[in-house]
Structure 1
Amino acid sequence: MLIAFFVNDMDREHAGFTTTVLAHEATRRGHRVCYVTPGDFMLNPQDELHVHARFAPQKKARTAAEFFKNMQAVDHDAVTIDVREIDVLMLRSDPSLDAQARPWSEDVGIIFGRAAAERGVLVLNDPDSLSLAINKLYFQSFPEAVRADTLITKFASDVKAFAKDHGGKIILKPLQGSGGQSVFLVGSENASNMNQMIEAITRDGYIIAQAYVPAAAKGDIRLFLMNGRPLQIGKKFAALRRVSSKDDIRSNIHAGGKAEAVDITDKELRVAELIRPKLMADGMFLVGIDIVGDKILEVNVFSPGNLQSCSKLAGVNFATPIIAAIERKIEIAAEFAGAFDNRALAVM
């Protein structure tokens, strides 16, 4: 099986990224792996879709770090192949990272992911649904019971009224973006700076004002869902608690947050179950959700991270069941040729 991983660009990849861990596990299980970036697609005059792919070296890598080093060595050695040679295309880019500097590439994975699916490639997550999730408005399609009160606007007066209705303590963040960029906690101690916060966010688009969930003081829980259900091995879940650094509300690991082991309780499982139907209907194979109390703050359907940290904290390899699930999807596609569309097959 050939699995292609679509990423923003090779220079921004890292040995500890979830993509690296998954790619390494795929090679460990005997599959071929290649990387594709936004500028690598080519549609020829015969309407054949090709990609300029970077293939992982044939030599086995004992660790994800060693695999990543091997990939760096072939960074500029692209090989042109017909997309139909690819069995699975995993869309692992974060569109928000390219929204400002390279807007042309923001939705390239979605556009050519659709074209690849039309040519028989299994595309994960489903590109049609990803097109609806390219900004945080997708979050509003989940049940109200799992969402904190949310306002989306570009008017400062709306935000101020919302803050007043919620006791003056709210979270402000951009509608588009990730990684904890431009996220502010508004409270009594900095309410006088609200105008500057609003201006900083609305300069680039719409603003999300969200009711503050007190449980956030203890950090949030990142939980991986696969095929709509919590990813687990035995009784161990692919999850961790992310605690923000001192004087910083952002719990994202690369924004200074710290990862800790966490016990998944019936409360978190209930939250996951409430959003499962939507994820299944949308063909969202691998998703990372951020839970605070009984609410979800984020649903990452593009490039959920921290899988390696989850594995280390639990003492198991969560990449193994993920690749195994992909293998089964390819088997199903062969057993029921043409019976299922990409969205349905993605979560089988």
Structure 2
Amino acid sequence: MKNVLFVTDPLAGLDAGIDATIGLMSASQDLGLDVWCCEPGELAVADGRVRARARRIRLRPRRPAGGDHRWIVDQAWWDELDVAVLDVAGFDLVHLRIDPPVEQRYLHTTYLLDLVEAAGTRVVNRPEGIRAMHEKLVALRFPELCPPTYVGADIAGLREFVARVGTAVVKPVDGFAGLDVWLVGDDHAAIALLESATHGGRRHVIAQQYLPAVAHGNKRLFLLDGDIVGAVLRRPCADDFRIGPPVAAAEIDDADRAIVAALRPLLVRHGLAIAGLDVIGGRLIEVNVTCPGGMHKTDALLGTRLSHAMVSRLIEPSRTYEGVSA
């Protein structure tokens, strides 16, 4: 039997009803793989080999909530079957699924997993690729695909940019999960908001022109080895300009295909097998590569099998998996 290791955050802190890592674990189990997991602190190197104190787990049954983006699961959603110290290169596949930001702990983990890749075991996503491709900034390599954007910490420069574009979404370069995201207009509040966003000019932020097309949806394109395997629409919440959970299937159009065609060589070259592209009104906003999410929610909402398709192709690259559509 093939086995897979998930290097992830503590299991107790994961939301089993929505977390994409758990969706990949569940799909792995459904496809007959043994599922093991460990935290970054449980990795070590001895005699040139990376070892992990890992737990073999079995996920308990789950079912879609019905018309929602969540799965119904037991509060205790997994059972521990075994604990062992194992050679990580002995796994058939290793998933790096630590939540961003890419800080010291994350970087140290990538350097250890470099040794696993050198030993011949595939790590998804490739550690070198995560270090090379900052998910908030990589889109700027393709300015023709993005809305007008300014990156910096200078409050005067940011204020000038906001005045030029009218309204901007401002977020920290190292931000994640919608934290510290600001909507800044060309008005008397702009300076105060920009001072707060940049911590008084000491923190780099990304400012992008606000796109009214977001009312029609922020499209998440799910990519596997540079190919689109699915798409879903997310919209701002009624009382919040930030993007909420998936709400409907998304049609893939020519603008999406052009964006993916431009990014594909870069993603493939750096081994970023699983990626999530955020697109608004045909403009590329972000390239999620550290711990791409949304698949598990989409599968629950739409009845798709994105997680299964990804696991199947990763474990058997030559196999075609027909199961993405509802």
State the TM-score, normalizing by the size of structure 2. Answer: 0.86
User: Which of residues 277, 281, 296 in structure 1 aligns to 2:269?
Assistant: 281
Q: Give runs of aligned pairs for residues 220-239 of structure 1, distance below 5 A.
A: 220-231=218-229, 238-239=230-231
Gaps of 5+ in 1: 232-237, 332-348
Task: Give the aligned residue type for 1:91.
Answer: L
Q: Report the equivalent of 2:66.
A: none
User: Which of residues 176, 185, 189 in structure 2 aligns to 1:193?
Assistant: 189
Give the RMSD, CA atoms, in angstroms: 2.4
SS at match of 2:219: strand
Deviation at 1:60, TM superposition (A): 7.3
Is 1:82 matched with 2:80? Answer: no
Do the aligned partners of 1:135 and 1:175 also contact (CA within 8 Å) in 2? no
More helix by share: 1
Task: Give the aligned residue type for 2:50.
Answer: L
Deviation at 1:55, TM superposition (A): 1.0
Deviation at 1:135, TM superposition (A): 5.3
Do the aligned partners of 2:49 and 2:115 also contact (CA within 8 Å) in 1? no
Q: Give runs of aligned pairs for residues 27-106 of structure 1, distance below 5 A.
A: 27-44=29-46, 46-57=47-58, 61=61, 69-71=76-78, 73-74=79-80, 78-96=83-101, 103-106=103-106
Give deviations 1:156-178, integer Å, cap 9, x for gaps.
Answer: 00101111222x21111111111
Q: Does 1 or 2 have the higher relative contact order (CA < 8 Å, sep 6+)?
A: 2
Q: Give runs of aligned pairs for residues 146-161 of structure 1, distance below 5 A.
A: 146-161=145-160
State the alpha-carbon separation in 1 of the partners of residues 138 and 95 from structure 2.
20
Deviation at 1:123, TM superposition (A): 0.6
State the alpha-carbon separation in 2 of the partners of residues 310 and 56 from structure 1.
24
Task: Give the aligned residue type for 2:197.
Answer: I
How has the CA–CA distance of structure 1 residues 251 and 108 changed in structure 2, closer, same or farther, with 3 Å as cutoff? same
Task: Give the aligned residue type for 2:243.
Answer: S
Deviation at 1:259, TM superposition (A): 2.1
Q: Report the equivalent of 1:132.
A: 132
Deviation at 1:187, TM superposition (A): 2.0
Q: Report the equivalent of 1:342.
A: none
Give deviations 1:178-216, integer Å, cap 9, x for gaps.
Answer: 11111112225xx32223322332227211111222212
Q: Report the equivalent of 2:164.
A: 165
State the alpha-carbon separation in 1 of the partners of residues 314 and 135 from structure 2.
26
User: Which of residues 226, 243, 251 in structure 2 aligns to 1:263?
Assistant: 251
SS at match of 1:170: strand
Task: Give the aligned residue type for 2:109.
Answer: G
State the alpha-carbon separation in 2 of the partners of residues 108 and 135 from structure 1.
18
State the alpha-carbon separation in 2 of the partners of residues 9 and 60 from structure 1.
18
Do the aligned partners of 1:135 and 1:176 also contact (CA within 8 Å) in 2? no
User: Which of residues 226, 235, 238 in structure 2 aligns to 1:243?
Assistant: 235
State the alpha-carbon separation in 2 of the partners of residues 157 and 139 from structure 1.
24
State the alpha-carbon separation in 1 of the partners of residues 288 and 42 from structure 2.
24
Gaps of 5+ in 2: 64-70, 320-326
State the alpha-carbon separation in 2 of the partners of residues 68 and 139 from structure 1.
38
Do the aligned partners of 1:198 and 1:207 also contact (CA within 8 Å) in 2? no
Q: Report the equivalent of 1:338.
A: none
Identity of matched residues, %: 24
Do the aligned partners of 2:19 and 2:297 also contact (CA within 8 Å) in 1? no
Task: Give the aligned residue type for 2:38.
Answer: V
Do the aligned partners of 2:42 and 2:53 also contact (CA within 8 Å) in 1? yes
How has the CA–CA distance of structure 1 residues 192 and 54 changed in structure 2, closer, same or farther, with 3 Å as cutoff? farther
More strand by share: 2
Deviation at 1:300, TM superposition (A): 0.5
Q: Report the equivalent of 2:216.
A: 218
State the alpha-carbon separation in 2 of the partners of residues 138 and 121 from structure 1.
26
Q: Greater CA deviation, 271-280 or 62-71?
A: 62-71
State the TM-score, normalizing by the size of structure 1. Answer: 0.81
Task: Give the aligned residue type for 1:243.
Answer: R
Deviation at 1:70, TM superposition (A): 4.7
State the alpha-carbon separation in 2 of the partners of residues 83 and 278 from structure 1.
27
State the alpha-carbon separation in 1 of the partners of residues 152 and 61 from structure 2.
49
Q: Report the equivalent of 2:300.
A: 312
State the alpha-carbon separation in 2 of the partners of residues 149 and 277 from structure 1.
24
State the alpha-carbon separation in 2 of the partners of residues 272 and 186 from structure 1.
29
How has the CA–CA distance of structure 1 residues 26 and 67 changed in structure 2, closer, same or farther, with 3 Å as cutoff? farther
Task: Give the aligned residue type for 1:26.
Answer: S
